[in-house]
A and B are shown apart, each in its own frame.
Chain A
Amino acid sequence: MILFGMMALTFVNGRIPFTGEPYPLEYPASFGNRTNIPADNPLTKEGVYLGRRLFYEKMLSAGNKISCGACHMQQLAFTDGKAFSTGIDGVPTDRNAMSLANLLWVKNFFWDGRASSLEQQALTPLAAPHEMGQLPEISAEKLQRSKVYPGLFHAAFGTQIISGEAIVKALAQFERTLISANSPYDRYLNGQYQPGSAALRGMQLFMTAPAPERQVRGANCGHCHGGPKLYLEVFHNNGLDSIPRDAGREKQTGVAADKGRFRVPTLRNIALTAPYMHDGRFRTLEEVLDHYSDHIRNSASLSPVLRNTSNEAGGASLRLSKQEKKDIIAFLQLLTDSSFITNPAFSNPFN
């Protein structure tokens, strides 16, 4: 009883006191513990539940039209299947909606890494006129007038008074639970799944750098997309254009070396998240493989990893055979985590 009282009185760093039961995060040890959780927003079961409701809550948009879930659909690994998304006003977004998986390990959010926490990230879609078009403070007033939300915020943050800050904190808590670690590839790494021969050949190519002088064939994808999470937090220009229409990270930093450079996205559930790249220019994985194999565009900021990297001596692109491309795609299919896209804990609670 005394202990409970003390818990309820605990204030951690920020202005919002929190109560509630800690939410245990479970993930493979191989993912590592370099996670990104702000000290003033630890996960609680109540906070995560509230965040899930808010993620699917249309009241957070102008005119109660859409929720985060409109552009981030669970069955598509939290993407929307479109090159550019449309929000409350039907005007397309500047970039392709990103998959939301294993965000716990991301430090710089968005295609150009411009937000350093999920709390900060959420402010953009909430307020952006072509996305949800409503300031979090207005959302807070709307939720305050509802029957259920004051109680849910009290359970999560110890106060019935709803604020924009509490909204983004709850959203961030929910998003940190979106862990994908049960694809056939994960099971293969645990010794519980035997891939077919095409996927095994594809995996070998994916992880190997080509070295024609030593008769080693490879695609070197793992250099940027590797590791057990299939995610490394690095930024590269992967040769889509010589003169990019979207300058990417350069807009953030003003550094010429960042022209056309984007965050390397996760390849988890990649078979579900077409179309591909920051502008959704490729409709299929076949088109992606054709790009890396045959169409790398040179420029001063092209990643050094893609320069002089070819299966042909002196080649400007990888030069993969038809069969090799198919094998790599067979490997990419192993990254689909069906339990992630059907997990009831991530689904729309209003359905």
Chain B
Amino acid sequence: MLYKLTACLLITIFAATAAFAQTISVEGEVTHPLKLGAADISKMQRTEVTAADRDGKPHRYSGVPVTTILQQAGVTLGAQLKGENMSKYLLVKSGDGYEVLFSLAELDSAFTDRVIILADQVDGQPLPDGKGPFRIVVPGEKKPARWIWEVTTMTVRFAKD
């Protein structure tokens, strides 16, 4: 009986976590691994960029600079981004399995004025089905191949060998 109850409880907990599984994990070479939900991200300092998707037309994307998230996780940015930390990269993964890579230097405001964001809105609306809830937007890039949608994981690693 007790066993059955525990099993039931476990299944319920599992189902509940699964229902809220649309979160972003920030892991790897970080001092504080994060699991961010929509509520966490809406509390962060927001920004807006205008950029053109595959349709060639400019849209207003709003969200959070990727560096803001990485800073919360304690990634070596700013003054710490030198020496061996220059061989670190960020790998972003989508729920569909697609993966794209950024070097830390191409994200950091000490190196570039371009602000790469994790967007949750386009033209004031939530992202459409399939592309949300979070998508990377890279302003000024000629091909939107790194505008990875349905972001689920951001992993910082050292390039090895």
Seen from chain A, the residues whose Cβ lies within 8 Å of a Cβ on chain B are 108, 113, 233-236, 253-255, 257-258, 261, 300-304, 307
Contact = CB atoms under 8 A, between A and B. Distances in A.
5 contacts: A254-B15, A254-B18, A254-B19, A258-B95, A302-B129
Contacts, number: 42
B149 interface: yes
B22 A257 contact: yes
B149 A304 contact: yes
Contacts of B17: 254
Contacts of B83: none
Contacts of B14: 254
A255 B22 contact: yes
B108 interface: no
Contact of B131 (A236, A253, A304): A304
B130 A253 contact: no
B18 A255 contact: yes
Given A257-B22, A257-B150, A235 B130 contact: no
Instruction: Point out which of B95, B129, B130, B150 has the most chain A C-beta atoms below 10 A from its C-beta.
Output: B130
Q: Interface on chain A toward B: helix, strand, loop, or mixed SS? A: loop
B97 interface: yes
B129 A301 contact: yes
A254 B131 CA distance: 18
Contacts of A254: 14-15, 17-19, 21
Given A301-B129, A304-B130, A236 B95 contact: no
Contacts of B15: 254
Contacts of A261: 96
A253 B128 CA distance: 21
A17 B148 CA distance: 43
Given A303-B130, A304-B149, A235 B97 contact: yes
Contacts of A253: 18, 21
B98 A257 contact: no
A135 B131 CA distance: 43
Contact of B96 (A300, A303, A307): A303
A101 B36 CA distance: 38
Given A254-B18, A300-B129, A234 B95 contact: no
Interface in B1-46: 14-15, 17-19, 21-22
Interface string B115-154: 0000000000000111100000000000000000110000
Instruction: Point out which of B128, B129, B131, B149 has the most chain A C-beta atoms below 10 A from its C-beta.
Output: B129
Instruction: Point out which of A236, A257, A300 has the most chain B C-beta atoms below 10 A from its C-beta.
Output: A257
B104 to A, nearest CB: 22
Given A234-B98, A258-B95, A301 B18 contact: no
B136 to A, nearest CB: 14
A303 B128 CA distance: 12
A201 to B, nearest CB: 24
Contacts of B22: 255, 257
Given A255-B22, A257-B150, 6 more contacts: A113-B97, A253-B18, A254-B18, A304-B128, A304-B131, A304-B149
A302 B18 contact: no
A34 to B, nearest CB: 11
B148 to A, nearest CB: 11
